[in-house]
Structure formats: structure tokens, C-alpha cells
Amino acid sequence: MEKISMNDNIQMVPMQEQHIPALAQLERICFSQPWSENSLRSELHNKLAVFCVAEQNGQVLGYAGMQCVMGECYINNIAVFPQFRGMGIGTQLVQTLIEQAIQRNGIFISLEVRVSNQQAISIYRKLGFCEVGCRKNFYAAPVEDGLIMTKELKTQ
């Protein structure tokens, strides 16, 4: 894969069937407990799910997904291929989910992140997420706490 700059034609598009193999590969690269192709594919038909893909000329750069239920939106996945990190793609993906949560009348959007993932935590803070709790031993391989971060979208 070639290195690209953010000035290039990067688009945020809804996840589709043709993205699934690349996203499953990305999951295996990024996570100790990756989602399978079947798990990703099942989200294509889930009316509560919002999954978007960052792509350039059909090449998958990264993706993010969330579930929205009765105004509560939970980010499940955010991943960017290593060679495309540090270019703002993760930030764009999260911003896209925030916009989608607002369109779905979301009251808040929440996520868990490994306490050691300071780069991601910094991005979430920059986007207005606040630390609201900690899930002890939430992650496996390695075992690590999960920091709960939430962004209020509107007051009730």
C-alpha cells in the first residue's frame, strides 16, 4: 500500500460487502480479539449499526463502527491500517460517527479504550470526549483496564 496525504481524495463511505475482507484483515492486525468476516458482515443488516470506511480510490484505509439504541450510541471499533496512521484518518472516522449519532438523535456517544492507548485518548479528548469511568481488566491479551469516555451530544 502506498503512503498518502490527507490532501488526497479520501472519502468516508458506508461499510459495504466489498470492504469486509480488508476490514477483517485490519481487525487481525489491530486487535487481540478481532471481529471475523461474519461478524462484520452481520452489521451490514443491523439497523442499529453505523459502520463507515475511510477509503481512497477503493482502497480501505481504516474504519469505525457503532450501535445506536434509543439515543445512546456506543462505538465498537475504530482501526486504521498502520501505514496510514498519524494522518488524521482516525479523527475523521470518529467525527463521522459523531455526525451520524447526531443525525440519529443521539443523546451521547461513548466508547472504551485501553488505558495505554494514549494516542487514541488524546484524539477522543480533542473531539470532546470526557473520561467517565474505568472497566477493570476489560481487555484481554494483554489484560488491561478500559477507560470509558463519553461525549454529550444534546441535553435531554
Each residue's pLDDT tens digit, 24-73: 999 999 998 999 999 999 999 999 999 999 999 889 999 999 999 999 99
112 is catalytic: yes
Given the residues 124, 131, 139, 144, the one annotated as active site: 124
Phi, psi of 154 (to 5 degrees): -160, 155
State the pTM of this model.
Answer: 0.90
124 is catalytic: yes
Write down the residue that cell numbers 487514541 correspond to: 120
Given the residues 43, 55, 112, 139, the one annotated as active site: 112
Q: Any idea which fold 10-152 has?
A: Aminopeptidase (3.40.630)
Give the integer Cα–Cα distance in Å for 15 and 51. 5
Each residue's pLDDT tens digit, 142-156: 999 999 999 999 754
